Every structure is written in structure tokens, then in C-alpha cells.
Amino acid sequence: MTELKLIYFNAKGLAELSRWMLKYAKIPFTDERVEKADWPERKKAIPGGKLPVLEVEGKMLPQSLAIARFVAKKAGLLPEDPLHAAFCDAVVETLRDVIVDMFKIKNAEDKSEEEKKKILKEEYMPNTLFPLLERLDKRLGDKEWFIGDQISWADFAIARTMEGLFSHMPDLATKFPKIKAHTDKVQNLPGVKEWIATRPDTPS
């Protein structure tokens, strides 16, 4: 079996989705974590100078979503139906956009912490985050999984995203109980549950 090496910082961040899927599918991989102090030197050998990268047969695959899609394929989590596969892509890319928007606000250098909190509460949450979660809630309905009738990497991406959101905004669990139940289900899948229980305690 091809040896995989997932290289990222000592954090959950952009690599955790792929870690979950690899653990779920029992695909062996090396979870290599780069400390911040070592990054300037390591960066020179990384394509594009960004993490994560996935080393496959000596070749480095960059970009977190390309990595996750590759892992999903190997893990049997990429739907065979082209339309279902496209819907998975749409869900995952929308999640990324919404989270990127949040971090743009949180990392804005021209805003005070109070201004950031106000923008998040009064603009981002009602205009960006809540509409997305409402659409996801409607799509899930009474189904077990989001796309089709089989678990897919979209379910993993949603659950991983919600893990971070629920930890920072616990009230969301009350507002969106079906999404919370779905997240719990994914987190309790074989492989994922054990990983979450034993993974390094790092920032989300």
C-alpha cells in the first residue's frame, strides 16, 4: 500500500478533515507536524510555501481541498454519481468560503477586538453563517446523510467545520439540533471516535 505523509502544523486547521477520513477508512499515514519555529526552514522545500501538503510516492500534493478530495476518493467517500460528487464539491467549497470570511474579520488589522466582535455578531452571523446553516438544515431534513443516501466526504467536511463552530459558539447546537446530531454521528464513527479521543490537544 502506498505510504502517505500528511504534513501540517501542530494544529487541527486545514488538515483535520483529511485526518478524519484517513482514520475512518483505516488508511495508514504519517501525521507529520511542523513546529512554528521550524517552519521558515521547512518552507523552502514545500511547493507554494504553504501547508498542508500530502506526500504520495515522493510527490507533494498541495492545497487542503485537493488533498481532502484525493483522500475521499481513496476512502470510498467520493460519490460515484457525478451530480452527487458535484454537490459534495459545492458543499465543501461553500463551507470554506464561509470560514474564510469569518477569519478575514477576525484577523483584520484595521479593526479593534470590540469592532470585530460587533461585525461578527451583527453582520457575519445573521447574513452569512446562519443562512448557510439554515440551508444545510433544510438539505439534511430527516435524512441520515447530506448527499444521497450514503455517507460522503461532504458529511465529514460539515461535521469537522461544525466541531470548530460548536466549540466557539455552543448556542448553535440549540439553534440547529439536527446538524448537531449529524456532527455527533460523524464524530462517533469507528476510527474517527478513537482519533478524536487520542489526537494531540491543539487549537482548532
Residue 19's SS3 state is helix
pLDDT on residue 204: 73
Residue 174: Cβ-neighbour burial (10 angstroms; 0-12, 13-18, 19+): exposed
Residue 29 contacts residue 22 (beta carbons within 8 Å): yes
Residues in the chain: 204
Domains of the chain from N-terminus onward = 4-76+191-198 (3.40.30.10), 82-188 (1.20.1050.10)
Instruction: Name the strands in the sheet holding 53-56, side by side, starting at the edge strand that comes first in the sequence.
Output: 29-34, 4-9, 53-56, 59-62
Residue 200 contacts residue 33 (beta carbons within 8 Å): yes
pTM for this prediction: 0.95
* β-bridge partners, 24: none
pLDDT in tens, the chain (204 residues): 578 999 999 999 999 999 999 999 999 999 999 999 999 999 999 989 999 999 999 999 999 999 999 999 999 999 999 999 999 999 999 999 999 999 999 999 999 999 999 999 999 999 999 999 999 999 999 999 999 999 999 999 999 999 999 998 999 999 999 999 999 999 999 999 999 999 999 977
Residue 119 contacts residue 105 (beta carbons within 8 Å): yes
Residue 9's SS3 state is strand
